[in-house]
Amino acid sequence: MEQRVSLITLGVGDVRRARAFYERLGWQGQEVEETVFFQTGGIVLVLWGRDKLARDCGITEGQAGGFSGVALAHNVRSKAAVDDVIAAAERAGATVTRPPAETFYGGYAGVFTDLDGHAWEIAHNPGFPLAADGSITVPGLSNP
């Protein structure tokens, strides 16, 4: 298995509602058969019905809600951008679960959960350089 993630699919309770949330944040998606695709660099983020996703994965759905055990991070270029994105997310209906603050690694970050409880950390991390195209690199890690 090569070291690669191709798509991230977030299971959501209501695809239309979830799409509207991400579009309020400025994202542009494309819907195909009740599935919404967002191209993000070389990977694709997908919104799909949580029940369909579970069934499609051959997984019996447990109780909904609670912590998904997965967090996505969106890194930005300044502390001010962290505040801006967290504020925009809150206006868009997100729950701010950790207000922006200095982090132990010398950065600045906050966390919100989207309408289905998926966690997004918005971070300014001077230690992880952000390229012009938005891709990040962890120093010392090679790209196999």
Residue 26 touching its own copies (CB under 8 A): yes
Residues 43/94, Cβ–Cβ less than 8 Å? no
Q: Which of 16, 17, 57, 106 binds its own copies (CB under 8 A)?
A: 57
Nearest to 50 by CA among 4, 17, 87: 17
**Nearest distance from residue 46's CB to its own copies, in Å?**
8
Residue 83 touching its own copies (CB under 8 A): no
In the stretch 90-109, what mask flags binding to its own copies with x, by CB under 8 A? Answer: -------xx-----------
Tell me the C-alpha distance between 37 and 120, whole Å. 18
For its own copies, the binding residues in 122-141 under the rule CB under 8 A are 122-123, 128, 130-131, 133-138, 140-141
Nearest to 136 by CA among 91, 81, 93, 76: 76
Please, which residues have CB within 8 angstroms of residue 5's CB and are 6 or more apart in sequence?
Answer: 43
**Nearest distance from residue 5's CB to its own copies, in Å?**
5
